């Protein structure tokens, strides 16, 4: 059983195949965190909680002190607390802070009971990992603040076979007075040391999710979003990895928040050199008013432990998300190769131009035409019409159905762009309902990209959007939606909520968006859903629950995209990354194709402008996409040479589950003057023999992984043997002999 309770010792032990996590119920019901790390068989771990005698600066509990004399062994300020509270003796970062009816925020929770059961609960209104009863086990620890009547349930689900756990927290007001949740984090883990690197994914628009490492220092360090979305700047992912951990080796603890709004993830290192990870909804933009009897459910944090380096951590996230997070039926289905009109035409298109794109695309082997921004209201640039989701008949002269029929007649599917959460001041929707956007009476409304943000906490707003969008989908054969979100939230106030609930707006906005996506995906389960937020501004696990693929970045330059795709792949599966070949000629078309193969493949260019030679290459790329689909989308990814680590080359590799096939891609970002280049592969079976399908040469897995393949170019400019000039790429495909 993955979850054990030892009643005599009052210990909980949560085991996966690779990790153990141990919680103790201490005197007076304090919940202590004893251990998280590689799997251990023991329960005898109570000694791990002691961090030295406390001083007059580290408060102890009154009852324990009276009973034991001056108990110098236990202080809330030093002990590894399982879910630390604010104001009652622990001065490190707290996980929960509740303002009670007396007006203070002192919070103190103690163990009351627990429940262990098979399966996993759904989190009401929130995306979360899911599992059948035979796939996971859950522990709920019931804790209580006896003075205020806040009942706090700590929820832990163990995915035993994956090396992963999911945590969340539920708070119910059992008193007869209102209270305010000022902070409810989803997770806190105390580590017995500070010898870790913090790894996170940093960036901005056009440059999302670059992998960043720093060694922990005393004090706090962390990442956050206050933008309303999970953001381009900091992805809701943080890992603590050993100082000597690498891609291939060492201990890694990965935390990924299943949430698409404001968050905080931070590490607080105390003066005893212990580190506390905490994460959850950003308290700076959050206050949840809880009336008697009401319950608040915090989102989920997924936790992965790997002692096989960052690769092991990524594989766990990928496998877990492919089976237990993404719920679209498209998850396991081959995605259509699409051509998107955005970079091909921007706002300048009509039905004939789109049909001309489709005509060319059909001959190339492309499966779907996506009509991006500009098809609705009177939108000819970005200064109007968001919210008016009816066809611009000046552009689509015969209307939408006629365009779709023409595209379908060519044998292509049809997809469409929406940005549901936004409204242009110059729109019929805004003129009819000026109070539907987020704003503060009397204040100027901040404008970004000429648009305002709708108040998604309002049912009437969501109903209007759903009806507008659903009627288009009900009346037209649309196979795909690109759901965009192109600005951050400001003046986040809602006209419908009372003063004491205005602190809920940011979270209610996210809940409202989730509800709309839920309705949409339930009514149109066959529609392929691609998320987008000015590229990858909401590339998070919350969105993956609804949308099996997300547009990774607006940056379609193949070389710049390498670090974006590599960073994204630390957490998110390859099949979730929208990756297109664009008209960015500084890199050869072949390389652009090879880079875009690391994702859900498509084109973002005017196909009429391709030369005959390029058309042949595009056909070949699409054939390769189909040939390698299963290997790339369902295999394991190995980041062989990261673009952030090496100025010259970037290389990655996919290996199928049976280890019978592997595909290696190498991009020469810049050619060395002394070009000697050996590349060692990973993830193969050392005892198997593999055939290089280009040359027919046969190598053992042991050779490929230890000696490597020699990619030194024969002479400068040669492209047959190695990617030798700047921006060129090379693929190598090996198959097990006899397979
Ligand atoms: C965002 C998206 C782009 C495109 C434009 C349209 O920037 O990331 O792909 O859809 O909006 O306005």
Residue nearest atom 7 of ligand 1, based on CA coordinates: 534
Mean pLDDT of 447-466: 98
Cα(533) to centroid of ligand 1, in Å? Answer: 7
Residue nearest atom 6 of ligand 1, based on CA coordinates: 373
Percentage above 70 pLDDT, the chain: 98
Cα(372) to centroid of ligand 1, in Å? Answer: 8
- Pairing state between β 600-604 and 234-242: unpaired
* Of residues 69 and 230, more confidently modeled: 230
Residue nearest atom 4 of ligand 1, based on CA coordinates: 342
Which pLDDT value is given to residue 724?
62
Q: How far apart are CA 279 and CA 189, in angstroms?
A: 9
Residue 717 has pLDDT above 50, yes or no: no
Task: Give the global pTM.
Answer: 0.98
Q: How far apart are CA 308 and CA 253, in angstroms?
A: 11
Query: With b meaning 16 or more CB within 10 Å and e meaning fewer, what string describes 675-690?
Result: bebebebbbbbeebbb
Backbone angle region of 51, left / alpha / beta, with phi > 0 → left and psi within -120 to 50 → alpha: alpha
Mean pLDDT of 642-653: 93
Rg (Cα) of the chain, in Å, rounded? Answer: 27
Give every CB contact of residue 57 below 8 A, 6+ residues apart in sequence: 77
Q: Which token pair is 114?
A: 């627990």
Residue nearest atom 1 of ligand 1, based on CA coordinates: 534
Mean pLDDT of 356-368: 98
Residue nearest atom 11 of ligand 1, based on CA coordinates: 534
Q: Which token pair is 695?
A: 């040359």
Mean pLDDT of 660-668: 97
718 — pLDDT class (breaks 50, 70, 90): very low
Mean pLDDT of 230-242: 98
CA of 382, closest atom in ligand 1? 12
Helix (H) or strand (E) holding 196: strand 196-202
Q: How far apart are CA 696 and CA 703, in angstroms?
A: 16
**Residue 561 · residue 207 · CB < 8 Å:** no
Which pLDDT value is given to residue 714?
63
| pLDDT tens, residue by residue, 562-610 | 999 999 999 999 999 999 999 999 999 999 999 999 999 999 999 999 9
Percentage above 90 pLDDT, the chain: 93
CA of 534, closest atom in ligand 1? 8
Q: Which token pair is 388?
A: 């008016």
Cα(554) to centroid of ligand 1, in Å? Answer: 7
Binding pocket residue ranges, ligand 1, CB within 6 Å: 342, 372-373, 417, 484, 486, 532, 534-535, 551, 554
Backbone angle region of 548, left / alpha / beta, with phi > 0 → left and psi within -120 to 50 → alpha: alpha
723 — pLDDT class (breaks 50, 70, 90): low
Which pLDDT value is given to residue 234?
98
Q: How far apart are CA 62 and CA 728, in angstroms?
A: 69
Give every CB contact of residue 658 below 8 A, 6+ residues apart in sequence: none
CA of 535, closest atom in ligand 1? 8
CA of 417, closest atom in ligand 1? 10
CA of 533, closest atom in ligand 1? 8
Which pLDDT value is given to residue 35?
98
| pLDDT tens, residue by residue, 193-217 | 999 999 999 999 999 999 999 999 9
Angle, helices 459-475 vs 505-523, to 10°: value is 20
Mean pLDDT of 686-697: 97
Residue 540 has pLDDT above 50, yes or no: yes
Give every CB contact of residue 108 below 8 A, 6+ residues apart in sequence: 85, 87, 88, 145, 147
Residue 219 has pLDDT above 70, yes or no: yes
Cα(650) to centroid of ligand 1, in Å? Answer: 28
For Cα atoms 401, 405, 408, give the angle at the middle one, nearest 5 degrees.
135
Which pLDDT value is given to residue 716?
46
List beta partners, residue 453: 422
646 — pLDDT class (breaks 50, 70, 90): confident
Residue nearest atom 3 of ligand 1, based on CA coordinates: 534
Residue nearest atom 2 of ligand 1, based on CA coordinates: 534
Residue 726 has pLDDT above 90, yes or no: no
Cα(535) to centroid of ligand 1, in Å? Answer: 7
**Residue 392 · residue 438 · CB < 8 Å:** no
69 — pLDDT class (breaks 50, 70, 90): confident
Q: How far apart are CA 352 and CA 4, in angstroms?
A: 65
Mean pLDDT of 522-536: 98
* Residue to mutate (ligand 1; options 532, 535, 579; most atoms within 8 A of CB): 532
CA of 532, closest atom in ligand 1? 8
Active site residues: 484, 554
Q: Which residue has the tokens 């050869």?
A: 588
Residue 720 has pLDDT above 60, yes or no: no
Which pLDDT value is given to residue 722?
53
Residue nearest atom 12 of ligand 1, based on CA coordinates: 373
3-state secondary structure 308-365: EHHHHHHHHHHHHHHHHCCCCHHHHCCCCCEEECHHHHCCCCCHHHHHHHHHHHHHHC
**Residue 324 · residue 131 · CB < 8 Å:** yes
Q: Which token pair is 582?
A: 């664009």
Q: How far apart are CA 690 and CA 600, in angstroms?
A: 27
| pLDDT tens, residue by residue, 141-183 | 999 999 999 999 999 999 999 999 999 999 999 999 999 999 9
* Residue to mutate (ligand 1; options 339, 486, 537, 600; most atoms within 8 A of CB): 486
Cα(620) to centroid of ligand 1, in Å? Answer: 28
* Residue to mutate (ligand 1; options 348, 534, 547, 579; most atoms within 8 A of CB): 534
Q: How far apart are CA 318 and CA 421, in angstroms?
A: 29
Cα(553) to centroid of ligand 1, in Å? Answer: 10
CA of 554, closest atom in ligand 1? 8
Q: How far apart are CA 511 and CA 261, in angstroms?
A: 9
Cα(613) to centroid of ligand 1, in Å? Answer: 29
């Amino acid at each position: 059983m993955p979850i054990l309770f030892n009643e005599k010792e009052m210990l909980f032990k949560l085991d996966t195949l690779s990790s153990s996590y141990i919680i103790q119920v201490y005197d007076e019901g304090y919940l202590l965190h004893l251990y998280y790390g590689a799997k251990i068989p023991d329960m005898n771990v109570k000694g791990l909680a002691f961090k030295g005698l406390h001083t007059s600066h580290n408060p102890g509990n009154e009852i324990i002190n009276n009973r034991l004399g001056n108990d110098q062994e236990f202080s809330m300020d030093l002990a590894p607390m399982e879910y630390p509270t604010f104001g009652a003796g622990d001065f490190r970062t707290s996980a929960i802070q509740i303002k009670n009816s007396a007006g203070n925020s002192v919070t103190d929770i103690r163990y009351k009971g627990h429940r262990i059961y098979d399966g996993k609960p759904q989190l009401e209104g929130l995306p979360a990992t899911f599992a059948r009863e035979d796939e996971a086990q859950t522990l709920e620890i019931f804790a209580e603040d006896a003075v205020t009547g806040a009942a706090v349930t700590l929820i832990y689900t163990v995915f035993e076979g994956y090396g992963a756990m999911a945590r969340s927290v539920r708070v119910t007001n059992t008193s007869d007075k209102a209270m305010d949740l000022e902070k409810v984090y989803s997770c806190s883990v105390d580590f017995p040391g500070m010898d870790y690197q913090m790894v996170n994914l940093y960036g901005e628009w056009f440059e999302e999710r670059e992998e960043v490492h720093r060694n922990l220092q005393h004090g706090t360090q962390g990442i956050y979003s206050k933008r309303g979305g999970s953001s381009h700047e900091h992805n809701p992912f943080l890992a603590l990895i050993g100082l000597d951990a690498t891609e291939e080796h060492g201990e890694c603890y990965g935390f990924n928040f299943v949430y698409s709004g404001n968050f905080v993830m931070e590490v607080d290192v105390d003066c005893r050199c212990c580190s506390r990870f905490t994460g959850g909804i950003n308290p700076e933009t959050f206050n949840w008013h809880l009336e008697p009897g009401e319950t608040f459910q915090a989102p989920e944090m997924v936790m992965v432990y790997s002692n096989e380096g960052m690769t092991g951590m990524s594989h766990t996230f990928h496998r877990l998300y492919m089976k237990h997070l993404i719920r679209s039926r498209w998850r396991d289905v081959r995605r259509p190769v699409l051509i998107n009109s955005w970079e091909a035409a921007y706002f300048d298109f009509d039905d004939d131009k789109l049909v001309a794109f489709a005509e060319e695309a059909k001959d190339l082997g492309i499966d779907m035409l996506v009509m991006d921004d500009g098809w609705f209201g009177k939108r000819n640039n970005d200064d109007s019409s968001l919210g008016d989701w009816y066809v611009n008949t000046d552009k689509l002269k015969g209307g939408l159905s006629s365009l779709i029929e023409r595209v379908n007649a060519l044998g292509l599917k049809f997809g469409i762009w929406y940005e549901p959460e936004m409204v242009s001041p110059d729109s019929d929707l805004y003129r009819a309902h000026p109070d539907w956007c987020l704003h503060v009476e009397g204040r100027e409304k901040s404008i970004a990209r000429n648009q305002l943000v709708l108040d998604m906490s309002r049912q009437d707003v969501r109903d209007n959007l759903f009806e507008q969008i659903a009627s288009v989908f009900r009346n037209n054969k649309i196979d795909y939606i690109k759901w965009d979100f192109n600005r951050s939230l400001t003046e986040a106030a809602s006209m419908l909520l009372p003063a004491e609930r205005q602190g809920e707006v940011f979270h209610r906005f996210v809940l409202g968006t989730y509800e709309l996506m839920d309705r949409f995906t339930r009514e149109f389960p066959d529609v392929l859903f691609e998320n987008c937020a000015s590229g990858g501004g909401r590339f998070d696990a919350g969105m993956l629950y609804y949308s099996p693929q997300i547009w990774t970045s607006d940056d379609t330059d193949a070389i710049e995209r390498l670090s974006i795709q590599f960073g994204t792949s630390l957490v998110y599966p390859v099949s979730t990354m929208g990756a297109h070949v664009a008209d960015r000629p500084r890199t050869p078309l072949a390389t652009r194709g090879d880079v875009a193969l690391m994702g859900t493949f498509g084109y973002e260019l005017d196909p009429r402008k391709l030369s005959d030679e390029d058309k042949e290459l595009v056909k070949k790329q699409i054939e390769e996409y189909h040939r390698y689909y299963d290997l790339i989308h369902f295999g394991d990814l190995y980041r062989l040479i990261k673009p952030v680590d090496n100025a010259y080359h970037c290389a990655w590799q996919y290996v199928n589950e049976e280890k019978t096939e592997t595909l290696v891609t190498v991009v020469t970002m810049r050619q060395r003057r002394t070009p000697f280049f050996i590349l060692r592969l990973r993830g193969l079976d050392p005892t198997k023999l593999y055939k290089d399908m280009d040359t027919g040469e046969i190598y053992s897995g042991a050779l490929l992984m230890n000696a490597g393949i020699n990619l030194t170019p024969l002479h400068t400019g040669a492209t047959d043997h190695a990617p030798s000039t700047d921006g060129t790429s090379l693929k190598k495909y090996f198959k097990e002999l006899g397979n």
